[in-house]
Amino acid sequence: MLRAIQTQGTYLRGGLSPHVVRRVREHIDNNFDQRIKVGTLARLANLSVWYFLRAFKQSLGVTPHDYLIRRRLEHTMELLLATEMPLSQIALAAGFADQSHFARRFRQHVGMSPRDYRRALPAVAPERLPYL
């Protein structure tokens, strides 16, 4: 799964407060299949875009864009495991612009193509598959 917040219940200087992190993550998790603008996330945190980007990375260790991509990829991995949907439909269901973009990001983060990942599912125990 995604890396947890670097602090357990404490506030990192320069980072987002825990309730703001929770609010932003919930928004991303509930809307990852749509286009999410950084300005919208910054407004949820009541911060300027520039400060929000800096504070988000300070708090979670990744940029909002990387967090969104990873969340989308987690969803595609679930769909690859649980459905027989075509890759093009999986890409669109997860919010990727097209199958090519999805396949490129999947390979970049997981180390294999979505098709190879799906083919490996029956032969490999789920805990041994590459995960984000």
Total domains, the chain: 2
Q: Are residues 83 and 121 in the same domain?
A: yes
Question: What is the pTM (predicted TM-score) of this model?
Answer: 0.80
Q: Are residues 115 and 82 in the same domain?
A: yes
Q: Which of 91, 93, 31 is nearest to 64 (CA)?
A: 31
Residues 21 and 55 in one domain: yes
Q: Coil, helix or strand for 73? A: helix
Q: Which domain holds residue 85?
A: 67-128
pLDDT averaged per 10 residues, the chain (length 132): 42 80 96 95 96 96 96 95 94 95 96 93 60 58
- pLDDT value, residue 90: 97
Domain C-terminal end among 10, 38, 62: 62
Q: Are residues 83 and 40 in the same domain?
A: no
CB 76 within 8 A of CB 114: yes
Specify whether 58 is located in the same domain as 1.
Answer: yes
Residues 9 and 55 in one domain: yes
Residue with tokens 């199958």: 99
Q: Are residues 53 and 30 in the same domain?
A: yes
Identify the pLDDT of residue 123: 56
